[in-house]
Amino acid sequence: MDRRIFLRNGGLTGLALSTFSFSACTSAPEQAKQADSAGNTDASTTESFELNEATIGDLQNKMSGGQLTSRAITELYLKRIEAIDQNGPKLRAVVEVNPDALSIADALDRERKAGKVRGPLHGIPVLIKDNIDSGDKMQTTAGSLALAGHKAAQDAFIVKKLREAGAVLLGKTNLSEWANFRSSRSTSGWSSRGGQTRNAYITDRTPSGSSSGSGVAVSASMCAVAIGTETDGSVVSPSSCSGIVGVKPTVGLLSRSGIIPISATQDTAGPMARTVRDAAILLAALAGADPADAVTQESTGKMQPDYTKFLDANGLKGKRIGVEKGHLKGESDAVPLFQQAVALLKAQGATIVEVDVEKQTDSLGEAEYNVLLYEFKDGVNKYLATAGAPVKTLQDVIAFNTQNKAKAMPFFQQETLESSQKLDGLASPKYKEAVSKSRNGARRALDSTLQKDKLDAIVAITNGPSPCIDLVNGDSWKGPGFSSPAAMAGYPHITVPMGLAHGLPVGLSFVGSAYSEASLFTLAYAYEQASKLRVAPKFQGPLVG
């Protein structure tokens, strides 16, 4: 059972997803219309784009060799965004471009010309999710009209790290509003500020959430890499559905200060990239202890200055891999892909051991949801109290949405916000009990499984193929998914492309113990290099029988 509670079905913690059915995506006339606009996309928006599928290494080689400057690369990405995000298939992944992007690129070009290169991200355009503060001309809104116009006074800690690394802050990506913590009937990738982000593979399919825009932008080569955030599934699920690599690091490896929160227990930012190497480069640039986020002190001595040194194409040889046995069977089109992935792991020298983590964690869903409800109210009130936003409390947000219902809530309501607002503070015994049950239970399940069979990691299906976007009924997922165990435990999780089902990407999850990112990168990279299953999207229109 997939219990990405707030991500998928806010209050439906006791229901198996197999009880839901896929809804029809669009009417026949609308399908034809979308097929014309998306399925027949001009080649100039796909393979012929100069930076299509370009890695960080490719871009660095072009800059060091004098073929392109950071300014030229930034201009190309800005044109790409205009061509396919604002026009063409209208993916709506980018909610705002940075008016200072070209001037930042110019400054970095001058540094390079003077012989100063800060590192692998020098001059590389990066998109960030619209719940991450940037102390510039761009807004930070979590996709909510209630926060429209809010410009942060300073950068989030991870944005400061990005700038120090020499990255070009290209813009901000759309997301599921309030990181999909507004309603039990929400639609992934939709926000009242940015509208509906579309899946780049089949444009009437969900991009998943909440880091929808970041996933689609990376997959469609609107940037080299992007940053998402996750509480439970919001990096790995959209990465899976966009056919890219997503990293949900150990909670504490990356600072959360300056990020609009859901949960102090589970929140983390994470890299989203087209390759494992690029994800490893970005993670190292973002990691660091932050005095404003106490949990990051736990990462001292555990983070790595360079995760790329752990990338080994033969890294699966001699490893012991736990395979979530419930994912080896079932009706999901992801199952045959998973079976093939497991066979490949074995062929690459790994020993396969069947495990059942979900059996141990399925009962923790209600406790997790209660943790999120309590921590959301506390975290959002603290964030808004010091922000320059027009609303100052969660109650203000609820009131704004009610007063502006036609624009703020045209498709689904805000019962999750209202449920959170009704709760008391973090001193509540109910909250403390929920934290203990959720976090400790998930950690016991993962740690005991890893230790019992001396496993290097556990693999599973990240999630099944994307269902249709449904603004009337909300998200409706079917099949397996594996975000919750690592999310509740605060442990690392990497997803890598595992193949396509009916043209829709599916990811393979690698989950390990706390601060095991280095070893997970080794395994994920070895699988990636042996499988080579990343396929660039072509913005196909709706599937019509």
Active-site residues, by number, are 129, 210, 234
What is the pairing mode between strands 168-173 and 268-273?
Answer: unpaired
Both tokens of 403, joined, read 């007063």
CA dist 24 and 11 (Å) reads 23
CA dist 319 and 523 (Å) reads 9
Give the residues across from 352 on adjacent strands. 321
* Nearest alpha carbon to residue 341 among 94, 192, 350, 201: 350
Task: Give me the phi and psi of 215, to 5 degrees please.
Answer: -65, -45
DSSP state, 147?
A: G
Per the CB < 8 A criterion, the answer to whether 541 and 34 are in contact is yes
What is the pairing mode between strands 125-129 and 168-173?
Answer: parallel
Enumerate residues 6+ apart whose C-beta is below 8 A from 153. 135, 388
CA dist 417 and 428 (Å) reads 18
Both tokens of 194, joined, read 């940015």
- Counting beta carbons within 10 angstroms of the beta carbon of residue 285, is it exposed (0 to 12), middle (13 to 18) or buried (19 or more)? buried
What is the pairing mode between strands 457-461 and 320-324?
Answer: parallel
Per the CB < 8 A criterion, the answer to whether 471 and 338 are in contact is no
Both tokens of 290, joined, read 């932050």
Which residue type sits at 439? Answer: R
CA dist 489 and 480 (Å) reads 19
* Nearest alpha carbon to residue 333 among 483, 471, 462, 502: 502
Per the CB < 8 A criterion, the answer to whether 417 and 396 are in contact is no
DSSP string, 228-242: EEESSSTTHHHHHHT
* Nearest alpha carbon to residue 9 among 265, 202, 233: 233
Which residue type sits at 417? Answer: L
Which residue type sits at 508? Answer: L
